[in-house]
Each structure stands twice: as C-alpha cells, then as structure tokens.
C-alpha cells in the first residue's frame, strides 16, 4: 500500500513564527544567554535543520557549550509544548482530513522531522487528535547523524518501515525539506509556510498554499507533474503523484 510522510513544522501546523521563535527567545532569557532573534533573523535560522543546531549557530564556542545547548533546547521544547497545548498553533487546512482518509484507506502514515520528538508528537496530536496520531509513525530528533537537507531521516523511514520509494509521497514546506526528500528518491508535495515562500522548491511535484478544506480552498503555486487539485487535495490527487502512477501516465 502507498505511504504518506509528513514533515512537522510548517506542514502539520505553521509553528515557527508563533511557536518555536518565542520559545527560543524565552529560553535564551531564562538561561541568561544574550541572544534574541527577531523575525527576519529567525527566517534565516529556519534554514538550519534542528533546534540545537540553530542555537549553536549563535554561540561563540558551540563545541564547549554542549551541555548548555542540550539543557536550553530541552527547556525551549517545554515552552513550545505549552503553546501547543494552549491551542495557539492549530493544524493547517487539510491535515486532519487527509491523515484520516489515508489511514482509512490503508495507507502508511508517518511524520519525519528534525524537531525534538516531544514537540513533534505534541503538534501531531493537536493537529489530528490522539486517536489518529497513535496510528502514525513518528521519526524525530537526533535519530539520524545528519539533519535536513541531508536525506538521512527519509532514508531511515524507508528502511525502518520497509517502504517502496515508488509508493511514497512526502509533504514538505521548505527548500531543505524538498532536498532531503528528493535525496532519498521520494516525490514531494509542498505546502508553503510563513518562512518558506521564497525557498527553491525545484524537484517538487506540486506546490500549494495548503492542502485545503471545505470552505478554505487551496491555491496552486505550481504543478510540475501536471496534477492540479481543485479546492482541496484529495487522496486521488495524491495517488496520481506517486512515482509508480506518474510513470504509467507517461
């Protein structure tokens, strides 16, 4: 059966500007670290895969500050989860609907992210509900040696779940995410998020504003593979984008 693999931040929910950014800044303040990121600065930081790596990028001696980075990031994760639980970061249009439909039709559904696992599980549960979240596989945090744009996280998903790349489709929101998925030989749908509108999505099969819901229609940004959903993405649209079906249509 086919598989649908989601990135977390910017895909399940638009979490960066109103979730991760203030959580980082609050953690910096609590730890007395003289760093505070504004929105333009953080727009550059999101191009770095991994929260600990983002913190390290602004420290003068990151190798000598490994314990500080680890503890600061753990506190940042707690602060972020408080925002998730307070309902400040709703799921993006179409996420609950597509996950429910895919699972109902026997698809494998997974989330693959370089964010900390508690953050990913928290966002997933808030976006689709605990019952559906429990049926999704989660790959997150430091489980691979290299983070996006390296393909390691997607290669691990393929290996651990024994998936056929030709039967898999990834939903990403960033240029580095597209690079990671394509590096693993996977087809990609992009749902653009707050900080990624100007990213390079070369290699994506479809680029959208979001997946769409009744009363909240999507906008097609580009459709290199020739599939143009109307109003909202359906499972049938996604099936057309699977590499096996793309080959058959040529």
Known catalytic residue at 164: no
Q: Residues, the chain, total?
A: 250
Task: For each of the domains in the chain, give its residue range(s) and CATH number, in order of start.
Answer: 3-14+90-248 (3.40.50.1000), 16-85 (1.10.150.240)
What is residue 137's three-state secondary structure?
A: strand
The two beta strands, 206-208 and 220-222, are antiparallel
Question: In the chain, where do the E strands start and end?
Answer: 3-6, 108-112, 137-139, 168-172, 187-191, 206-208, 220-222
pLDDT at 25: 98
Residues in the chain where the model's pLDDT stays below 50: none
pLDDT digit string, tens, across residues 12-62: 999 999 999 999 999 999 999 999 999 999 999 999 988 999 999 999 999
CA dihedral over 26, 176, 195, 85, signed as positive or negative: negative
Rounded to two decimals, what is the model's pTM? Answer: 0.92
Nearest to 20 by CA among 203, 193, 210: 193
For residues 214 and 180, give the distance between their C-alpha atoms in angstroms, rounded to a whole number. 31
Q: Which DSSP string do the residues of 190-233 spell out, in sequence order?
A: EE--TTTTTS--TT-SEEES---BTTB---EEE-TTS---SSS-
The rounded distance, in Å, linking the Cα atoms of 97 and 39 is 31
Question: Is 32 strand, coil or helix?
Answer: coil
Q: Report the pLDDT value the prediction gives residue 248, as an integer from 0 to 100.
A: 61
Residue 7 among the catalytic residues: yes
Of 7, 26, 213, 237, catalytic: 7
Q: How far apart are CA 6 and CA 9, in angstroms?
A: 9
User: What local confidence, expressed as pLDDT, does residue 115 receive?
Assistant: 87
- The continuous run of DSSP H or E covering 240 comes out as helix 235-241
CA-nearest of 102, 108, 133 to 13 is 133
Q: Which of 9, 26, 173, 213 is catalytic?
A: 9
Q: Please provide residue 27's backbone torsions phi and psi, each rounded to the nearest 5 degrees.
A: -70, -40
The helix/strand/coil state of 107 is coil
101, 211 contact by CB (below 8 A)? no
Cα Dmax for the chain: 59
pLDDT for res 227: 97
Q: Rounded to the nearest 5 degrees, what angle is found at the Cα of 197, between the Cα atoms of 229 and 208?
A: 5
User: What pLDDT is attached to residue 113?
Assistant: 94
Backbone torsions φ then ψ of 122, nearest 5 degrees:
-65, -45
What are 174-188's pLDDT values in tens digits? 999 999 999 999 999
CA–CA separation, 151 and 156 (whole Å): 9
């Amino acid at each position: 059966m086919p598989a649908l693999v989601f990135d977390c931040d910017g895909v399940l929910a638009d979490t960066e500007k109103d979730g991760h950014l203030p959580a980082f800044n609050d953690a910096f303040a609590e730890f007395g670290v003289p760093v505070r990121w504004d929105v333009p600065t953080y727009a550059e930081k999101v191009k770095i895969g991994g929260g600990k790596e983002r913190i390290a990028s602004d420290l003068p001696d990151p190798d000598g500050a490994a314990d500080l980075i680890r503890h600061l990031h753990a506190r940042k994760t707690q602060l972020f989860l408080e925002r998730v639980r307070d309902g400040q970061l709703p799921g993006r249009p179409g996420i609950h609907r597509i996950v429910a439909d895919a699972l109902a039709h026997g698809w494998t559904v997974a989330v693959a992210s370089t964010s900390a696992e508690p953050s990913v599980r928290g966002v997933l549960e808030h976006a689709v509900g605990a019952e559906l979240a429990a049926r999704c596989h989660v790959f997150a945090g430091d489980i691979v040696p290299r983070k996006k744009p390296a393909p390691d996280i997607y290669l691990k998903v393929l290996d651990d779940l024994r998936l056929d790349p030709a039967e898999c489709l990834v939903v990403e929101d960033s240029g580095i995410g597209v690079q990671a998925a394509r590096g693993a030989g996977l087809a990609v749908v992009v749902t653009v998020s707050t900080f990624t509108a100007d990213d390079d999505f070369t290699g994506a099969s479809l680029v959208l504003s979001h997946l769409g819901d009744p009363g909240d229609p999507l906008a097609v940004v580009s459709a290199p593979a020739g599939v143009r959903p109307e109003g909202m993405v359906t499972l049938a649209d996604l099936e057309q984008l699977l590499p096996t079906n793309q080959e058959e249509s040529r």
